[in-house]
Chain A
Amino acid sequence: MALEITAARPDPALLDLPWRIPLEEWPEDILAALPRGISRHVVRFVRLSGRVLAVKEIKADLARREYELLRNLNRLGMPCVEPFAVISGRVGADGRELDACLVTRHLQFSLPYRALYSQTLRKGTATRLIDALAVLLVRLHLAGFWWGDVSLSNTLFRRDAGAFAAYLVDAETGELRQRLSDGQREHDLDIARINIAGELMDLEAGGLLQEDRDPVAVSERIMTRYRELWGELTGPELIDDGERWRVEDRMRRLNALGFDVDELEITTDLDGTSIRIQPKVVDAGHHSRRLLRLTGLDVRENQARRLLNDLDAFTAATGRQGEDEEIVAHEWLTRIYEPVTRRVPRGLVAKLEPAELFHEVLEHRWYLAERARHDIPIEQAIDDYVASVLPGKPDEQSVLGVDTRELPVIAGPNAQP
């Protein structure tokens, strides 16, 4: 059987990887990180043409299915890992057929939840992760994706101006539908709650849960956060004819949550005394789209919100409110954002992404100013931050962990009958 590579943009270097060897036995010198823990499937990280790839060994039909699903999710603009290739038709040196491999790109600056818990945590990290997962789940459900195995293990997190943004990593159990029924959404939520509670209880049992929070209570939060957000994004609202400002108000509330309304359904009752409004199509990324349009910076939603606030402050401070927004934004970019983010010495760039660094510098400036009881210029804040805070941060550009560290029950090479 011939080795078969399915990829949108195949990299010839893929052929150099040792596909005739079972993934579990790949030599350490090609791995980007040593394997840790046990995963449901064998997963390894390799470095190839300057990027890090995650390779998962899995049955060929499942690999192809997941590859297609991830491609479709990417097309829909969903936050998830990017599929890179499927390698099938593998034959071992002994002539035995080997399972196929699904290759995905490693998401830079992403953190598995276990890595977050092994760091000294800021208070409330557990709940911030849940909040990020709730947003991800709502977005996936709006797009018609039925996940089937929602968990912290199947999610990666990126810092997002003090909060987190969640990305789907494992789509193995997922299905893309036209629209999800309430039962299907509830099913995902139910699975999410049990998995999160189990994952946190496991950390607790392993002495890794630093915050004194009840795992069950934290897991309940996925339900409430999800329902709040889902209700705000999709729920109908009845308003009196004299309260038309509330239509505008609803749009603003959705914007504040980071969503744009692409389609709003407005129906009036027969005598015209009340109006029913219901968002039909909503699109995440309100702030990040606006920032992208103004500055060309492609960052996450909360980072964009933070940067836009700083842009507003800059506009006000320089008395440019009446001017063309794009021109002021360009000036802010070249006078403030770029000089600040370029101030980081080469040796420290793997610590944080530029936008997150900028957010941290703004935070740092606020603390400095509070202590000094007067305003601190951003130049001074960045210098102080680089000197005193940044060196102590862990490198987060390529934190690699297996997708899940749980024990395989049925599948997997470790399961000895």
Chain B
Amino acid sequence: MAQRTLTTGGKGAVARVPIDPPARHTGDTADTDVGGSFTLYNGSSGTFLPVKEGNDVMATVKFDQASRIYPGNDTPSVDRLDIDVADGEFLVLVGPSGCGKSTSLRMLAGLEEVNDGKIWIGDRDVTDLSPKDRDVAMVFQNYALYPHMTVADNMGFALKIAGVDKGEIRKRVQEAAGILDLTDYLERKPKALSGGQRQRVAMGRAIVRSPQVFLMDEPLSNLDAKLRVQTRTQIASLQRRLGVTTVYVTHDQIEAMTMGDRIALLKDGILQQCATPREMYDRPNNVFVAGFIGSPAMNLVSVPVTEDGVQFGSHRLHVDRSLLGSSGNEVIVGMRPEDVEVTTNEDGLELIVDVVEELGADAYVYATPANPDIRLEGVGDDALAKPFIARVDGRRVPDKGSKIFVYPNPDHMHVFDKESGARLG
């Protein structure tokens, strides 16, 4: 007997709950058979999710040299993207506006043509499949609830449209409600729910369809700051409980860092790095990644190369020459604000303190190089001089306008090629 399972465990520890197969519906909605392996009902609201039996296939996602070139453009908006997303993984596509992250997600959803390369979901090549045959769900695309309908109906009505029979709908809604802590509210109207519960109902609408992959495109972009933090925690924890492979797009690196199992950072359509948040933070591949990930951003300074390392102001830093290899006379040295040694001993790069931001235990010092020829590198508005930022002990804070000297903690410094921006060593 074909069995449908709804995955309910976290990653790694996946519990699969068998559910009786849905009765084949005989209504007039179109069934689409894909590969004959399972029945697909026609898609759904901004969710494109077919409802199927036998959802125990591995839901990996693979971008295989996938490119998108818009008609009339010379350069691709997404250029030979290569990403492997593991089954159950939460992958965040992040980058500045115009980097190709949304386009990539839409290529996966079937909303944007793939001009070159392929996209795989599990062992299916979905490159040329229509959106509704891909078994992916765009979550939160339209997050309205209907006031006269019960919570249960709000969660299950799209299944009704897909022609799933009533008993099966009830079963799936109850199961999703269990996962979402909404069991006691199923017969209530949405008006009686709190904001957080309403969000969960909206998620339930996608969960009951049991897609292979959830897709989310900046779902939090029009929330205020407080709600954004709450919702991002909810989404992340729910995703871990469900264990459904998820690809999430955001421009916000904090969202990316806090939510993703791994982050893929794009710029100008090109993947810069795909790694865990920790790796991105500790070992950025290039200057762009270094400047984009982390808040406040990493300090990046061009410095001259010496015989046995680099010259950071008056401070000499030892760097293995073999690492510096063919780099020219200068390299870019990067250090996070917490890895900056601050002294008044005329040792290091001389800075003038502009602003001190007191945070209690710590303080952030914003300062500018005393030598106006030294400019800080990095992402952002190039017209504005970027400040050098150092985190200092909240009890030993330099005065505004005072002179300080800084150099990087040698154990946590990053060296990049001045020309290519690539990480050295």
Contact of A417 among B130, B132, B157, B230 (CB under 8 A): B230
Using known A-B contacts A183-B130, A190-B131, determine if residue A178 contacts B147 with beta carbons closer than 8 Å.
no
Q: Is A38's CB under 8 angstroms from B147's CB?
A: yes
Q: Is A409's CB under 8 angstroms from B130's CB?
A: no
Smallest distance from the beta carbon of B105 to chain A beta carbons, Å? 13
B410 at the interface (CB under 8 A from A): no
List residues of chain B with CB within 8 A of the CB of A153: 144
List residues of chain B with CB within 8 A of the CB of A191: 45-46, 141-142
A40 at the interface (CB under 8 A from B): yes
Q: Is A409's CB under 8 angstroms from B199's CB?
A: yes
Using known A-B contacts A191-B141, A220-B28, determine if residue A202 contacts B198 with beta carbons closer than 8 Å.
no
Compute how far the CA of A194 lies from the CA of B143 in the bound complex, rounded to whole angstroms.
Answer: 12
Using known A-B contacts A40-B144, A198-B146, A415-B227, determine if residue A178 contacts B72 with beta carbons closer than 8 Å.
yes
Using known A-B contacts A195-B45, A417-B196, determine if residue A407 contacts B144 with beta carbons closer than 8 Å.
yes
Contact of A216 among B160, B195, B231 (CB under 8 A): B160
Q: Is A198's CB under 8 angstroms from B227's CB?
A: no
Q: Is B198's CB under 8 angstroms from A407's CB?
A: yes
Smallest distance from the beta carbon of A360 to chain B beta carbons, Å? 32
Using known A-B contacts A187-B111, A201-B157, determine if residue A194 contacts B46 with beta carbons closer than 8 Å.
yes
A406 at the interface (CB under 8 A from B): yes
Q: Is A181's CB under 8 angstroms from B222's CB?
A: no
A149 at the interface (CB under 8 A from B): yes
Q: Is A182's CB under 8 angstroms from B130's CB?
A: yes
Q: Is B48's CB under 8 angstroms from A187's CB?
A: yes
Q: Is A216's CB under 8 angstroms from B161's CB?
A: yes
A410 at the interface (CB under 8 A from B): yes
List residues of chain B with CB within 8 A of the CB of A186: 130-132
List residues of chain B with CB within 8 A of the CB of A202: 146-149
Chain B residue total in the interface (Cβ 8 A): 54
Which positions 189-236 of chain A face chain B at CB distance < 8 Å? 190-191, 193-195, 197-199, 201-203, 205-206, 208, 216-217, 219-220
Using known A-B contacts A187-B131, A220-B29, A415-B195, determine if residue A193 contacts B161 with beta carbons closer than 8 Å.
yes
List residues of chain B with CB within 8 A of the CB of A406: 144-147
Q: Is B140's CB under 8 angstroms from A410's CB?
A: yes
B194 at the interface (CB under 8 A from A): yes
Which positions 58-81 of chain A face chain B at CB distance < 8 Å? 58-59, 62
Compute how far the CA of A17 lies from the CA of B198 in the bound complex, rounded to whole angstroms.
Answer: 33
A405 at the interface (CB under 8 A from B): yes
List residues of chain B with CB within 8 A of the CB of A183: 109-113, 130-131
List residues of chain A with CB within 8 A of the CB of B43: 190
Which positions 202-245 of chain B face chain A at CB distance < 8 Å? 202, 219-220, 222-223, 226-227, 230-231
B44 at the interface (CB under 8 A from A): yes
Contact of B148 among A187, A206, A216 (CB under 8 A): A206
Give 1 or 0 for each of A284-302: 1 = CB within 8 Å of chain B CB: 0000000000000000000
Q: Is B153's CB under 8 angstroms from A201's CB?
A: yes
Compute how far the CA of A71 lies from the CA of B425 in the bound complex, rounded to whole angstroms.
Answer: 52
Using known A-B contacts A183-B130, A417-B194, determine if residue A190 contacts B144 with beta carbons closer than 8 Å.
no
List residues of chain B with CB within 8 A of the CB of A208: 148
Compute how far the CA of A404 lies from the CA of B143 in the bound complex, rounded to whole angstroms.
Answer: 12
Smallest distance from the beta carbon of A105 to chain B beta carbons, Å? 24
Smallest distance from the beta carbon of B164 to chain A beta carbons, Å? 12
Q: Which of A183, A216, A410 has most chain B Cβ within 10 Å?
A: A410
Q: Is B71's CB under 8 angstroms from A201's CB?
A: no
List residues of chain B with CB within 8 A of the CB of A108: none
Q: Is A409's CB under 8 angstroms from B147's CB?
A: no
Smallest distance from the beta carbon of A164 to chain B beta carbons, Å? 22
Smallest distance from the beta carbon of A197 to chain B beta carbons, Å? 5
Chain A interface bracket (under 10, 10 to 19, 20 to 34, 35 or more): 35 or more
Using known A-B contacts A186-B130, A206-B148, A220-B29, determine if residue A409 contacts B161 with beta carbons closer than 8 Å.
no
Compute how far the CA of A198 lies from the CA of B161 in the bound complex, rounded to whole angstroms.
Answer: 9
Compute how far the CA of A26 lies from the CA of B295 in the bound complex, rounded to whole angstroms.
Answer: 38
Q: Is B146's CB under 8 angstroms from A201's CB?
A: yes
Q: Is A411's CB under 8 angstroms from B201's CB?
A: no
Name the residue of chain A whose CB is nearest to the CB of B138. A187
A179 at the interface (CB under 8 A from B): yes
Q: Is B148's CB under 8 angstroms from A62's CB?
A: no
Using known A-B contacts A62-B222, A194-B161, determine if residue A407 contacts B147 with beta carbons closer than 8 Å.
yes
Q: Is A198's CB under 8 angstroms from B223's CB?
A: no
Compute how far the CA of A58 lies from the CA of B202 in the bound complex, rounded to whole angstroms.
Answer: 21
List residues of chain B with CB within 8 A of the CB of A205: 146, 148-150, 153
Which positions 32-61 of chain A face chain B at CB distance < 8 Å? 37-38, 40, 58-59
Q: Which of B44, B72, B147, B150 has most chain A Cβ within 10 Å?
A: B147
Name the residue of chain B whose CB is nearest to the CB of A196. B161
B158 at the interface (CB under 8 A from A): yes
Smallest distance from the beta carbon of A38 to chain B beta carbons, Å? 7
List residues of chain A with CB within 8 A of the CB of B142: 149, 151, 173, 191, 195
Smallest distance from the beta carbon of B348 to chain A beta carbons, Å? 39
Q: Is B45's CB under 8 angstroms from A409's CB?
A: no
Q: Is A408's CB under 8 angstroms from B198's CB?
A: yes
Give 1 or 0 for each of B245-275: 1 = CB within 8 Å of chain A CB: 0000000000000000000000000000000
Q: Is A409's CB under 8 angstroms from B144's CB?
A: yes
Q: Is A181's CB under 8 angstroms from B140's CB?
A: no
B190 at the interface (CB under 8 A from A): yes
Q: Is B222's CB under 8 angstroms from A407's CB?
A: no
Q: Is A410's CB under 8 angstroms from B161's CB?
A: no
List residues of chain A with CB within 8 A of the CB of B227: 410-411, 415, 417
Contact of B199 among A38, A40, A181, A410 (CB under 8 A): A410
Which positions 152-181 of chain A face chain B at CB distance < 8 Å? 153, 173, 178-179, 181
Known: A191-B46, A216-B27, A216-B29. 16 other contacts (CB 8 A): A181-B111, A182-B130, A186-B130, A187-B111, A190-B132, A197-B160, A198-B146, A198-B149, A208-B148, A220-B29, A408-B144, A408-B198, A409-B195, A410-B199, A410-B219, A416-B195
The chain B residues found within 8 Å of chain A, CB to CB, are: 27-29, 42-48, 70-72, 109-113, 130-132, 140-150, 153, 157-158, 160-161, 190-191, 194-196, 198-199, 201-202, 219-220, 222-223, 226-227, 230-231
The chain A residues found within 8 Å of chain B, CB to CB, are: 37-38, 40, 58-59, 62, 148-149, 151, 153, 173, 178-179, 181-184, 186-187, 190-191, 193-195, 197-199, 201-203, 205-206, 208, 216-217, 219-220, 404-411, 414-417
Q: What are 15 of the A-B contact pairs (CB < 8 Å)?
A: A149-B141, A178-B72, A182-B130, A183-B111, A190-B43, A191-B142, A193-B161, A194-B45, A404-B144, A405-B147, A410-B140, A411-B227, A415-B195, A416-B194, A417-B226
Task: List the 3 closest pairs (A to B, CB-CB), nearest first.
Answer: A415-B195, A194-B45, A206-B148
